Amino acid sequence: MTAVPRGRLIVVGTGPGAPEWMSPEVTALVAEATDLVGYMTYVDLLCDILGPAAAGKTRHTSDNREELDRVRFALDLAAQGRTVALVSSGDPGVFGMAAAVFEILDRDPQPAWRDVDVTIAPGISAMFAAAARAGAPLGHDFCVISLSDNLKPWEVVEARIAAAARADFVIVFYNPASTQRQWQVDRAKALLLEHRAPSTPVVLARNVGRDGEGVRVTTLEALNAADADMRTLVIVGSSQTRTVLRAHSRAGEGPWVYTPRHYPEDRATGEARS
């Protein structure tokens, strides 16, 4: 019997979407792949960015809600001796497909998958791209919370927002709203205002690195649900986050936003500044 060659599953991140923000490692690994598996939007984005490097690959696309089935399909392909690139947006380890792979390998291991070589290739997360566009809002301690309650109860989300607010972290919100979910942004705002000043800087970054990019700076008091959708990343400053006017701002550009690297001793309690 002819032995099946060892297959490989490569989990790659596209980065936020700009070609210059995709790593050389991802480009090289995708060039070696025989198959591309992923949510259709992300696979199309990857192919558009890489052009010839993605040519000739067999594409297997599916709906964004079929993540675990997509992982099983990719592992089955790899078990046949193929080199499979499982495509994620941003960094695959930040609310991405890498965790889904290990979840399946942990909960539902199949004998055929034992010899599959798994590689995770990092990408630039949307939060780092958004922060760079805005200045340096993540210059001190920060945390990242998804406002989606699809995979965890909303009570858990609220508890984490409240804890992060009390601890005075800068907070990055992924998945702030969708066509079916609009109220979470306003609820998060109410929780934050219990610990943050109304003037706290907030960055709204939409489609960073893609067509239609927009970055806007507002305040916590002025934030509302209509400001965000699933393509928007929301960064809420800490009590120490500041704004600085740009020296040569273009039309539509707001101030720079940054969080100092030091934390004054008298702010140790994390109380909101007045």
For 8-124, the fitting CATH number among 3.30.70.20, 3.30.360.10, 3.40.720.10, 3.40.1010.10 is 3.40.1010.10
Q: Length of the chain, please?
A: 274
CATH 3.30.950.10 given to domain 127-267 = yes
pLDDT, one tens digit for every residue, the chain (274 residues): 566 778 999 999 999 888 899 999 999 999 999 999 999 989 999 999 898 888 899 999 987 778 899 999 999 999 999 999 999 999 999 999 999 999 999 999 999 999 999 999 999 999 999 999 999 999 999 999 999 888 899 999 999 999 999 999 999 999 988 777 778 999 999 999 999 999 999 999 998 988 888 999 999 999 988 888 888 999 999 999 999 998 876 666 789 999 999 888 766 554 444 3
Q: Is 59 exposed, middle or buried (0-12, 13-18, 19+ CB in 10 A)?
A: middle
The closest alpha carbon to 42, from 258, 182, 231, belongs to: 231
3-state secondary structure 56-114: CCEEEEECCCCHHHHHHHHHHHHHCCCEEEEEECECCCCCCHHHHHHHHHHHCCCHHHC
Q: Where are the domains of the chain?
A: 8-124, 127-267
Nearest to 70 by CA among 33, 98, 30: 98
**116 vs 108: CA distance, rounded Å:** 15
Task: Tell me which residue of 256, 124, 271, 250 sits closest to 203, measured CA to CA.
Answer: 256
Q: What is the pLDDT, as a whole number, of residue 65?
A: 74
DSSP for residue 229: -
pLDDT of residue 273: 43
- What pLDDT, on a 0 to 100 scale, did the predictor assign at position 250? 67
Beginning with the edge strand found earlier in the chain, give each strand of the sheet holding 135-136 in spatial order: 135-136, 256-258, 242-244
SS3 30: helix
What is the structure's pLDDT at 251?
Answer: 61
Could you list the beta-strand ranges (E) of the chain.
8-13, 35-39, 58-62, 83-88, 117-121, 135-136, 142-146, 170-174, 201-206, 214-219, 232-236, 242-244, 256-258
Regarding beta strands 83-88 and 35-39, do their DSSP bridges make them parallel or antiparallel, or are they unpaired? Answer: parallel
Q: What is residue 231's predicted lDDT score, i.e. its pLDDT? A: 87
